[in-house]
Structure 1
Amino acid sequence: MGMGDTTLRAAIEDALRQARALLEKADLAGARRLYEGVLAMAPDNVEALHLLGLVYLRLGDAARAEPLIARSMKLGLRQSWNFANHAAALVGVGRHREALMAIDEALRIDPTDAAVHAGRGDALLALERFDEALAAYDRSLAHAPGHAATWSRRGAALRALSRPADALISLERALQIDPNDPTTLTERGHALRELRRLDEALQSYRLAMVVSGKTPALLFACGVVLSELGQAAQALAVLDEGLMLSPDDAQLLYASCVALDLLHDHDELLRRCDRLLAANRDHEAAWVGRGNALLGLDRHHEAAQSYGEALQRAPNHVDALRNRAAALRTLGHLQDALEDYDRALAIMGSDAALSYNRAVALQQLGRFDEALASHAATAQAYTETAQGLYTQAVALQQLGEHEAALARYSLACERNPHHGAARRSEAYCRLLLGDFDSGWKQHEHRWQATDVTLRRRHADRPLWLGIEPVAGKTVLLHAEQGYGDTLQFCRYAQLIQAKGATVIVEAPAVLANLLGSLRGVNRIVTETDPTPAFDLQCPLLSLPLAFCTTLDTIPADTPYLQADLARREGWASRMDAVARPGRLKVGLAWSGNPRHNNDENRSLPFTALAPLLALDATFVSLQPQVRQRDADALAASGVVGFGEALADFADTAALIEALDVVISVDTSVAHLAGAVGRPVWILLPRAPDWRWLLEREDSPWYPTARLWRQTRPGDWSPVIERVKQALVEQAATRGYPA
């Protein structure tokens, strides 16, 4: 051997020694440079080949690790740890069966090698042979109980076996050894999510991000949990961060669609679902999301088509069936909708929401006894979810079992404290039963629902709920829900002014002129106007709580609103021009906002009013919007309509003041007639809104109101017949024919 060879060998030995030291210190970059230098001098150096492969393996680059380790073994390295490393590299590149062969070789050499048993577990885990993987990890831990990664992967195997509680124990052991391992923290988050410990799951994912940074996978996990927690706005923000890092990630994109669906952002939901479908036309969940967007945009025919596309690809997709049924119901295809509900129930076996919606379809078909039976099936359906319990409670109210409904609402809130609809509905049910003390307090929980929170205004300003003195202060009262609610609760303004406050009311523009007549208001502003300075704010529907309202203390001095004199005189002249002399003048409103969550129960088709229209009277449409299903029948009916001449609520109020009586379903027209002090007959469904209470024909909110109630869900015919007879009697009292 020459001097040059001796020097080269010495250089190689020195480099290998330094590289081993760096590897022991986990200085992977430094070790890699030295091993690459050795291989530049001696391409067949087996130690450098193998350990450079190990470096790449620890850097997460199994594709570069595997050929290096394989070559080292061909050149003579045949120890058990060599096989173990090769097996790990083979697992990393997805060659799991070859990995098992390498592990078998290693175990023949040393059956007690903990790392080899752990590697066997990894290969079996990847092959979804979860029971065998668990056994392999247990054998590894029997020899090396302090190996955190093995405890972690054991947890993953247990979770794959649907044993999340056992998985969590294993993962906690791993974190006792290595508290900052992002993989274990992530896996712990998954186990906690499966156990429905969602807040803890979110915290675990966030801890993983502290260690590893914001990766698309972790942002996805956080976004999904935030959606499940009902925090859809935060979920969307997190998922959008992920999409900034990985714009074409279908998993992130679809999760963002789920959040957008919860936020009712239908336009953006439609755009993102179309992005998913542009990449994969067979993404059935994207077709369902697209259908949901179109349903929210009132494009019901297109929505039904999208759900149909989903069902072509996944015939048993229950959400596609139930949502297509909702679209078909709106389109009037009731029998087709019923068939979809029946198909979905055949798949599910028992489902509260499906049974409830099936009952509504039966109501609309006039099959009232079957509808009652379906409501009963809803109430009896087995369910453990908050949503299922909530739906059962709604059905129980249809059956008149309000105390049982309260129990279900309460249990739904226990199961999911973020279920805003259940919290609101429990409050409404208490109010319906006349329990105002508990009801008003519980009503404040409405802000926990995503859809309500998004509409909340002025939440950053001091809230007045009746505690602080308001003398000398400016209080802003602001609308938060529908027009009817604003008309009902604006009456409290004068009570606040009586306490010495300056009162500003913020309301939708179509109400502004009418609200100008409200006593106790210093200024009316619309929601698009610049907000004036104020000290305290209160949403209108929190005012009953602020004033500790009871049935006996409802401020019911009507009229508290009226149109101005010029409008009243103008609309009186118009009515004189179209009314038949010596006949009752009757206003009609038969449907409310189609987006209302109880619209199908509270609204009725125009044709249901036919018995009334046979009477000798002048009938006037007070409908702000006429649905397509009603247009032809209305046009042929002879009912007087003023269309766009009714520019706002002040015009409608003036017209109402020129009528003898208003007959209305539970919608803003009913509240308007009551607020201006005119006789109003309100048609109520079997399960009425809370404000109409139970089993009474009058309303403590509106002294001029008379209530007409269904006895069976959806059955309007007896109600209309009773109203018809009352109109005949009213005409006779006035000496009019009928």
Structure 2
Amino acid sequence: MDINEAIALALKEQKSGNLIMAESIYRKILEIQPDNVNALHFLGLIYFVNKDFDSAIEYISKSLNIEPAYPEALLNMGLVLMAKGHFDEALYYLRKSFQFNPECAETLKNIGAILQVQGNYDEAIINYKKALEINPELSDIYKNVAYLFRDKGMLNEAIIFFKKALEYYPGIADIHNNLGLALNDIGEIDEAIGYLRNAIKINPGNPEFYNNLGVILRGKGLFDEAIGCFTQALMLNNRFLEAYNNIAVSLREKGHIEEAIYFLRKALDINPDFASAHWNLALIFLLTGNYSEGWKEYKWFWKLKDTNNFNFSKPLWDGFNIDGKTLLVYAEQGYGDTIQFIRYIPFITEAGAEVILLCQEELKELFSNLRNLKQVITFGENLPHFDFYCSILMLPAIFQTTIENIPANVPYIFTEQSLINEWRKRLNNNNSTFKIGLVWSSGHRNSTLQFRSSSLESFSMLSSIKGVEFYSLQKGISNEEVINFYQKMKIHDFTNNIFNFNDTAALIMNLDLIISVDTSVAHLAGALGKPVWVLLPSVPDWRWMLNREDSPWYPSMRLFRQTKHGDWDTVIKNVRDAILDFIQIKS
């Protein structure tokens, strides 16, 4: 038997799994021909399979010393180094291999895998896609690319690759799960639910799948079904913190406050530092008017994993003597939060400090009208000198706010009279008509925040009221349904002339009444001291509390609440009757 025949026999044994026989043949070949590159290479592969990586490297290196342009040996050297975690060295050998064999999809796939591990997602995707162009049947690449696109936030692309992966792996529950989550994030709720149910059908013992399905069902307002999913997750894992938290949120949305607190306490019994449970306790305490306990828990907001933690170089201010110092107050969360809590700035200046406000660009011009601020800057601008900093969200707790001592003197926000006059001319104001500004959408599509939005159909009930003119205060939403709604309601739309909240404030000052769902416009109207009616879901955001028609935060505000989840029609009917009474009183 000549050398080539011996190599062929050894390879046959190797491929059939008879590694001992194959190794014996290779060693006999090397006794006769010590520089046989194939025997050295394939013997190295046997060591690789047996996880003796150092010996694998030794023999493959010997083959490459003899034949440096051996693409298969370069590829396998790269794979061995990958297995050892030596990724930079592995990349070197894989790229060398590809130079000599540019049609090898397997090499590109492994280059992509290393780049993915190293966090170089863009380059990883490029290499994966090139590999698929050469060999579209490299099925595991579809999974890898899907996860990369998901991690980059490119959900539509991720969905395409997840669905392609399912053509090859229909029985992998994790692909169904992640596809469902991606679909939910782009608003394809019903399709998402289908894939999560598939994941559970394939693997009914995974509590994560029940939890994920429950979150999606809750976002659709199916609270009982969601609670059932979270309950099942807890039956599978009675220490599943997120499931305790999620069942509590669902119970809160149903108005079952004490039960919600029970599940949050259960989570904290398991992990006293579970920030999400503390945060949701804060929201419940504040919702029910227990401000003293609420502010204690509120501090956990800054420990939530999705919270932006600003790392300023100066010390954090938490209420100590600040006389003669300069404090940087920075805004976070939404515009409404900033508008609501800007009322606390005078308390800081009364304590002897100067205040620099760091806020959203859209609020800068409006807040520049406030005399208690030394300077207003926006995110991205260079920071001036300051001594201490704090979040604007900390101020109610720092000043020990209770229901009884909320600083509610309005207006506490102002806009220039010249701008108000400019908007009066734009509106061509007719003082004989009653002018109402409308906001019907919170702008949120997913999560429970979407329940703040009313349907246009419900708002259309107001079209029968005589002697009023409606003005849109709704920014950023325009489609055929909205256009038809504007025509039916004969709504005046000047929102293209609104460039920031200062413009919105000037427009509001020219109106008689603002009717809004829970949005920043409602806060702005209240801060300006204008009559504002806020339409609320059955269980609202904490600041509107429960079972009251007024707001201790805004004296000019009236609250209209759902009596059952999703029933906006009854709310709008009550608003319509109240408008008629309001007009009669005004006239």
- Which bin holds the TM-score, normalised by the shorter protein? 0.7 to 0.9
Partners of 1:426 and 1:219 in 2: CA distance: 44
Residues 180-226 of structure 1: per-residue CA shift (max 9 Å, x gap): xxxxxxxxxxxxxxxxxxxxxxxxxxxxxxxxxxx977989xxxxxx
**Of residues 250, 257, 261 in structure 2, which corresponds to 1:402?**
257
CA 1:447 to 1:328, structure 2 compared with 1: closer, same or farther past 3 Å? closer
Write the mapping of 1:215-614 to structure 2, written as runs, cut at 5 A. Answer: 253-254=115-116, 273=125, 276-279=128-131, 282=139, 283-289=141-147, 292=150, 296=153, 304-315=159-170, 316=173, 317-326=175-184, 329=187, 336-337=191-192, 339-340=194-195, 342-347=197-202, 349=204, 351-361=210-220, 363=221, 371-378=222-229, 380-383=231-234, 384=237, 385-412=240-267, 420-452=275-307, 455-466=308-319, 468-577=320-429, 582-594=432-444, 597-614=447-464
Determine which of 571, 575, 578 is the counterpart of 1:726. Answer: 578
Q: Secondary structure at the match of 1:351?
A: helix
Conserved? CA contact 1:682–1:707, under 8 Å: yes
Looking at structure 1, the residues matched to 384 and 191 of structure 2 have their Cα atoms a distance apart, in angstroms, of 53
Question: What is the count of residue pairs matched by the alignment?
Answer: 498
Query: What letter corresponds to residue 450 of structure 1 in structure 2?
Result: K
Shift of 1:623: 1.6
Change (3 A) 1:347 1:591: farther
Deviations 1:536-568 (A, max 9, x none): 111100111211222222211111001111111
Residue identity matched to 1:604: S
Q: Confirm whether residue 622 of structure 1 aligns to residue 448 of structure 2.
A: no
Identical residues among aligned pairs (%) = 31
Question: Which amino acid in structure 2 is aligned with residue 681 of structure 1?
Answer: W
Distance 2:127 2:432 in 1: 63
Once the two structures are overlaid, the 10-residue window that deviates more, 621-630 or 585-594, is: 621-630
Q: Which runs of 5+ in 1 are unaligned?
A: 1-61, 76-87, 97-118, 120-214, 221-238, 258-267, 364-370
Q: Distance in 2 between matches of 1:394 and 1:540?
A: 25
Q: Which residue of 2 aligns with 1:680?
A: 532
Structure with the greater alpha carbon radius of gyration: 1
**Residue 94 in 1 paired to residue 45 in 2?**
no
C-alpha separation in 2, matches of 1:240 and 1:418: 39
Number of the residue aligned with 1:49: none
**Whole-angstrom CA distance in 2 between matches of 1:245 and 1:552:** 72
Separation (CA, whole Å) in 1 of partners of 2:149 and 2:335: 29
The change in CA–CA distance for 1:630 and 1:733 in structure 2 (over 3 A counts) is same
Q: Does the 8 Å contact 2:549/2:560 carry over to 1? A: yes
The residue type paired with residue 542 of structure 2 is: W
- Residues 51-77 of structure 1: CA deviation (Å, up to 9, x unaligned): xxxxxxxxxxx99x96699669x99xx
- Provide structure 2 residue ranges, at least 5 long, that are not aligned to the other structure: 1-18, 33-42, 53-80, 96-109
Instruction: Indicate the SS of the match to 2:178.
Output: helix
Mapped to 1, the partners of 2:374 and 2:545 lie a distance apart of 33
* Separation (CA, whole Å) in 1 of partners of 2:470 and 2:537: 23
Secondary structure in 2 matching 1:382: helix
- How far residue 410 of structure 1 moved from its aligned partner, in angstroms, is 4.2
Q: Distance in 2 between matches of 1:597 and 1:335?
A: 14
SS of residue matched to 2:554: coil
Q: Does the C-alpha gap of structure 1 residues 564 and 505 become closer, same or farther in structure 2, counting only changes over 3 Å?
A: same
- TM (normalized to structure 2)? 0.73
Aligned equivalents of 2:177, 2:409: Cα separation in 1: 48
Report the Cα offset of residue 460 of structure 1.
3.0
Classify 1:659/1:464 alpha carbon distance in 2 versus 1 (closer, same or farther; 3 Å). same
Q: SS of the residue aligned with 2:507?
A: helix
Equivalence map 1:155-194=2 (5 Å): none
The alpha carbon displacement at 1:492 in A equals 0.8
Q: Is the 8 A contact 1:488 1:675 kept in 2?
A: yes
Residues 462, 536 of structure 1: 8 Å contact kept: yes
- C-alpha deviation, 1:327, in angstroms: 5.1
The Cα shift of 1:93 comes to 4.2
Q: Which amino acid aligns with 2:255?
A: G
Distance 1:629 1:240 in 2: 54
Query: Structure 1 CA distance, aligned partners of 2:143 and 2:439?
Result: 39
User: Which TM-score applies when normalising by structure 1?
Assistant: 0.60
Letter in 2 for 1:460: S
User: Within 2, Cα distance between the matches of 1:270 and 1:684?
Assistant: 44
Conservation of the 8 A alpha-carbon contact between 2:180 and 2:194: no
For the residues of structure 1 that align with 2:292 and 2:481, how far apart are their CA atoms? 41
Counterpart Cα distance in 1 of 2:544 and 2:88: 44
Query: Of the two structures, which has the highest relative contact order with CA contacts closer than 8 Å and spacing of 6 or more?
Result: 2
Instruction: Describe the shift of the 1:241–1:397 C-alpha distance in structure 2 as closer, same or farther (beyond 3 A).
Output: farther
User: Are the equivalent residues in 1 in contact too, given 2:112–2:125 (CA < 8 A)?
Assistant: no
Q: Describe the SS at the equivalent of 1:556.
A: coil
Distance 1:721 1:389 in 2: 38
Give the secondary structure class of the aligned counterpart of 1:704: strand
Give the counterpart letter for 1:463 in structure 2: L
The 3 A distance-change label for structure 1 pair 531 and 675 is same
Q: CA deviation at 1:530?
A: 1.8
Cα gap change, 1:537 to 1:327, in 2 (>3 Å): closer
Contact 1:471 1:500 in 2 (8 A): yes
Kept in 2, the 8 Å contact 1:284–1:314? The answer is no
| 1:413/1:629 CA distance change after superposition, 3 Å | farther
> Residues 148 and 158 of structure 2 are in contact (CA less than 8 Å); yes or no, is this contact kept in structure 1?
yes
Deviations along 1:134-175, one digit per CA (max 9) or x if unpaired, are: xxxxxxxxxxxxxxxxxxxxxxxxxxxxxxxxxxxxxxxxxx
Paired residues for 1:133-152 under 5 Å: none
Match of 1:702 among 554, 559, 564: 554
1:431 counterpart letter in structure 2? L
CA distance in 2, matches of 1:286, 1:518: 53
Contact 2:230 2:243 in 1 (8 A): no
Task: Give, in whole Å, the separation in 2 of the partners of 1:241 and 1:439.
Answer: 54
Give the distance between the partners of 1:539 and 1:626, measured in 2 at CA.
30
Greater share of helix residues, 1 or 2? 1
Note if contact 1:587-1:663 (Cα within 8 Å) is conserved in structure 2. yes
Distance (Å, rounded) in 1 between the aligned partners of 2:391 and 2:112: 41
Matches within 5 A, 1:7-22: none
Paired with 2:414 and 2:269, the residues of 1 have a C-alpha distance of: 45
Looking at structure 2, the residues matched to 515 and 311 of structure 1 have their Cα atoms a distance apart, in angstroms, of 53
Shift of 1:501: 0.8
Q: In terms of mean alpha carbon deviation, does 700-709 or 492-501 score higher?
A: 700-709
Task: Give 3-state SS (helix, strand or coil) of 1:683's partner.
Answer: strand
Tell me: CA distance 1:351–1:535, structure 2 relative to 1, closer, same or farther (3 Å): same
CA distance in 2 between counterparts of 1:487 and 1:643 reads 20
**Any idea what the Cα deviations from partners look like across 1:387-409, whole Å, max 9, x if unmatched?**
22222122111111223223333
